[in-house]
Amino acid sequence: MIDVLNRLGFEDVRILERFDSFRATTKEATARKYGVHGANIFARKP
Amino acid sequence: MAIACPVDLDTQKLRFEVSNIYSRVVAEPEGQFHFHRGPGYAAEFLGYDPEELAALPAETTAAFAGIANPHRIGAIRAGETVLDIGCGAGMDLLLAARRVGPTGKAIGVDMTDAMIERASASALAAGLGQVEVRKGDATSLPVESACVDVVISNGVINLVPEKQRAFDEIVRVLKPGGRLQLADILLDVELSEDTRRNIDLWTG
């Protein structure tokens, strides 16, 4: 994601926070298998 | 996140499935889903302010199904124009509307009629006249170019197969210096082509 946003010309691209959003859901095991998590991402258009 | 999707992915079927699932969230938020919903989840897992959520219409917060929290990324200021891509039932949209105040504008875009109706009704109930909800999707935003100060989105871009088009649209609508405050899914591993073709995995 960071690479994609940088490639598009965004500046100051940052992942600010991660969340274990699928904890205690029926898809928790799948999320763990693929390393799926929620994230807060910031970017600025030049 | 891979920006391309498999060329033979049935994107129409994917859109249908996504629309179906989220229409069901509005109709019965207490139903069986593979993801969390509601204000309790938002506060406990994602750091939303429970008092702020309690001040919003319960029908909106009950159908919240975001994956992170765009409001923790940066301040949204009075008078700004905010665009919420895939606004759903409107929880993030209404929070943004409260921040921009009556001199600003909060535009929500969603492709699901049930979500549009719910978000519009909730904005009305909350007395937030600065909210406008439009029908559309992330790859063709019904928004003029270079008119948005902040784009927010919560758990939506990962469901869009044509990610390049979605990001091009975000670039188009943002003003120079505009901010993207994106709450979405990240993966720690690169998915195989077979896995990326599996619609069940896209939708949960």
Strand partners, B81: B105
Contact B187 A8 (CB under 8 A): no
ipTM for this model: 0.93
| B196, closest residue in chain A (CA to CA) | A34
Contact B3 A46 (CB under 8 A): no
Contact A25 B34 (CB under 8 A): yes
Cβ proximity of A30 and A36 under 8 Å: yes
What is the per-residue pLDDT for B201?
58
Give the closest-approach CA distance of A6 to chain B in angstroms: 11
Residue-wise DSSP of B105-162: EEEEEES-HHHHHHHHHHHHHTT-TTEEEEE-BTTB-SS-TT-EEEEEEES-GGG-S-
What is the per-residue pLDDT for B28?
85
Chain A residues inside the 8 Å CB shell of B4 = none
Cα A5 to Cα A3: distance, rounded to the nearest angstrom: 6
Give the closest-approach CA distance of A31 to chain B in angstroms: 9
What is the per-residue pLDDT for B12?
78
| Parts of chain B with a pLDDT under 50 | 1-2, 7
Sheet-wide strand order for A36-44: A11-19, A36-44, B174-187, B148-154, B81-85, B105-110, B131-135
What is the per-residue pLDDT for A34?
86
Strands A36-44 and A11-19 come out as antiparallel
What is the per-residue pLDDT for B9?
63
Give the closest-approach CA distance of A13 to chain B in angstroms: 9
Contact A4 B3 (CB under 8 A): yes
Give the closest-approach CA distance of B27 to chain A in angstroms: 20
What is the per-residue pLDDT for A12?
97
- Section A18-42 average pLDDT: 91
pLDDT in tens, A7-17: 999 999 999 99
For the cut 70, the answer to whether the pLDDT of residue A1 exceeds it is: yes
What is the per-residue pLDDT for A2?
84
pLDDT in tens, B112-171: 999 999 999 999 999 999 999 999 999 999 999 999 999 999 999 988 988 899 999 999
Stretch 108-167 of chain B: residues touching chain A, C-beta under 8 Å: 155, 163, 167
A9, A38, A46 ranked by CB distance to B67: nearest: A38
What is the per-residue pLDDT for B2?
46
Chain A residues inside the 8 Å CB shell of B70 = 40
Cβ proximity of B157 and B184 under 8 Å: yes
